Amino acid sequence: MEVLEAIRSRKSIRAFRPDPVPEHVLIKLLGVATRAPSAVNLQPWEFFIVRGKALKEVKSVYLEDYRFGKLPDPDIPVGDTRDIAPVLEGVYKERQVALAKQIFNIMGITKANKKMEWSEKMMQFYDAPTVIIVAVDKVLQGNWPILDVGLVTQNITLAAQEFGLGTCIMRAIVDYPKHLRKIVGIPESKRIIVGLAIGYPDWDHPIAGLKTTREEIDNIVTFVG
Ligand SMILES: Cc1cc2nc3c(=O)[nH]c(=O)nc-3n(C[C@H](O)[C@H](O)[C@H](O)COP(=O)(O)O)c2cc1C
- With contact defined as beta carbons under 8 Å apart, do 198 and 94 qualify? no
Nearest of 148, 152, 197 to residue 170 by alpha carbon: 197
Q: Residue 86: its pLDDT value, please?
A: 65
Does the pLDDT of residue 170 top 70, yes or no?
Answer: yes
Does the beta carbon of 95 sit less than 6 angstroms from any atom of ligand 1? Answer: no
Secondary-structure class of domain 9-78+124-207 per CATH: alpha beta
Taking only the tens place, the pLDDT of each residue in 68-102 is: 999 899 999 877 555 556 678 899 999 999 999 99
Indicate the domain borders of the chain. 9-78+124-207
Cα–ligand 1 centroid distance for 133 (angstroms): 15
Does the pLDDT of residue 132 top 60, yes or no?
Answer: yes
Q: Is the pTM of this model over 0.85?
A: yes
51 vs 83, more confident: 51
Q: Residue 25 and residue 39: Cα distance in Å, rounded? A: 27
Q: What is the mean pLDDT of residues 47-59?
A: 98
Q: Residue 70 and residue 67: Cα distance in Å, rounded? A: 8
Does the beta carbon of 168 sit less than 6 angstroms from any atom of ligand 1? Answer: yes
Does the beta carbon of 170 sit less than 6 angstroms from any atom of ligand 1? Answer: yes
What percent of the chain lies above the pLDDT cut of 70? 97
Cα–ligand 1 centroid distance for 169 (angstroms): 6
Taking only the tens place, the pLDDT of each residue in 171-223 is: 999 999 999 999 999 999 999 999 999 999 999 999 999 999 999 999 999 99
Q: What is the mean pLDDT of residues 146-168?
A: 98
Does the pLDDT of residue 153 top 90, yes or no?
Answer: yes
Cα–ligand 1 centroid distance for 207 (angstroms): 14
Q: Whose CA is nearest to atom 30 of ligand 1?
A: 169
Taking only the tens place, the pLDDT of each residue in 111-120 is: 999 999 999 9
What torsion, rounded to 10 degrees, do the Cα atoms 158, 5, 204, 124 define?
A: 20
